[in-house]
Amino acid sequence: MSRVAAIDCGTNSVRLLVADVDGARLVDVVRRMEIVRLGQGVDRTGRFAAEALERTFAALRSFASDLERCGSPPVRMVATSATRDAANREEFVTGVREILGVDPEVVTGMAEAALSYEGATRELAGCPVDPPYLVVDIGGGSTEFVLGDGEVHAARSVDIGCVRMSERHFAADPPTAAQVAAATDDIDSAIALAGEEVPFEEARTLVGLAGSVTTVAAIALELPDYDPERIHHARIPADRVRDISERLLYLDRAQRAAIPVMHPGRVDVIAAGALVLRRIIDRLGCDGVVASEHDILDGIAYRLADG
């Protein structure tokens, strides 16, 4: 049995998966997430902030210790939206190389979409959901739309992540009606842009990935604590998503933080992330979303395992 390690560095979080490859299946050895907000201010300045880089490097140093304890397996690190946008990304690349001994792959939105689709759908064959799947990965800086049925048929990445929308539109806490309306217009325009390339009407199942979706799912399930096993492949009705999104937009920071399943690093961006999910559901007219705990991180590991 071989062992591989995958690292996903997004706009909001950096995550590590060390997994043993058992045939076509990944068996988790270590799965970790740290909220580092690497994309802090990138939408406005076009550059990584020094403090954001240091938070990210600190998390990666901790990951390096995990990798050593796990026998130093081969590592693939992928960096996504914020890194694509940052003018000083070489500073980030140099720091990663010094800590991990590998260069991060700064992938395109299309490559990111394909990895997310693979990670989310490899194990869906045994689930009571019908293809074609529309996989929607709501990240910090961007959202990927991927339609497929065993293989990817169409994909598009658009810049409507939860961090980007929060920084761009939600200056007040909670956001004003005008700010919500502006964010909604921005989101709807991006969804329409994605729809020009991805035929949404062909999808039979909407699969949602990343922290905004899984947090909404955890709230919908009324969990006392965040429980990945309960969340994974839970089907959340459209009406519940709409209700939760509306509620989050009216809560202030302290009230959002008090929700039992809320990760501290998602408190400031969950309202925008839930709004993105709600507008996607409204655009598609679907009856709900299947939440997945497996995503681009698993896709990176699968590709590494496949050679």
Bigger pLDDT: 244 vs 42: 244
Of 11-20, 103-112, 230-239, 267-276, the one with minimum mean pLDDT is 103-112
Q: What is the mean pLDDT of residues 41-68?
A: 93
Q: How do residues 90-102 score in pLDDT, each as one tens digit? A: 999 999 999 999 9
Instruction: List, as own/partner pairs, every contact residues 126-129 make where C-beta atoms lie below 8 angstroms and the sequence separation is at least 24, other chains included.
Output: 127/233, 127/290, 129/205, 129/207, 129/235, 129/290
| pLDDT surpassing 80 at residue 182 | yes
Strand partners, 214: none
* pLDDT for the residue 65: 97
| pLDDT surpassing 80 at residue 85 | no
* pLDDT for the residue 1: 65
| pLDDT surpassing 90 at residue 82 | no
Percent of the chain with pLDDT strictly greater than 90: 72
Q: At what angle do helices 211-220 and 238-250 cross, to 10 degrees?
A: 100
Q: How do residues 232-278 score in pLDDT, each as one tens digit? A: 999 999 999 999 999 999 999 999 999 999 999 899 999 999 999 99
Residue found under tokens 């007040």: 172
Torsion, Cα 105 110 112 118, to 10 degrees, reads: -120
Q: How do residues 111-136 score in pLDDT, each as one tens digit? A: 888 888 888 888 876 677 889 999 99
Within 10 Å of residue 236's Cβ, how many Cβ atoms?
Answer: 24
**Residue 90 exposed, middle or buried by CB count within 10 Å (0-12, 13-18, 19+):** exposed
Domains identified in the chain and CATH numbers: 2-106 (3.30.420.40), 123-292 (3.30.420.150)
| pLDDT surpassing 80 at residue 83 | no
Instruction: Tell me if 152 sits within 8 A of 108, measured CB to CB.
Output: no
Q: How far apart are CA 41 and CA 31, in angstroms?
A: 28
Mean per-residue pLDDT over the chain, rounded: 92
Dump the DSSP string for 55-115.
HHHHHHHHHHHHHHHTT---EEEEE-HHHHH-TTHHHHHHHHHHHHSS--EE--HHHHHHH
- What is the pTM assigned to this prediction? 0.89
Q: At what angle do helices 162-169 and 270-284 cross, to 10 degrees?
A: 110
Bigger pLDDT: 65 vs 82: 65
* pLDDT for the residue 109: 73
Nearest to 119 by CA among 140, 95, 144, 141: 144
* pLDDT for the residue 29: 94
Banded pLDDT at 140 (limits 50, 70, 90):
confident
Side by side, the strands of the sheet bearing 13-22 are: 25-35, 13-22, 2-9, 75-79, 105-106
Max mean pLDDT range (82-86, 259-263, 300-304): 259-263
Instruction: Tell me if 177 sits within 8 A of 185, measured CB to CB.
Output: no
Nearest to 284 by CA among 211, 232, 207, 230: 207
Of 129-133, 143-147, 194-198, 259-263, the one with minimum mean pLDDT is 129-133
* pLDDT for the residue 264: 93
Bigger pLDDT: 236 vs 306: 236
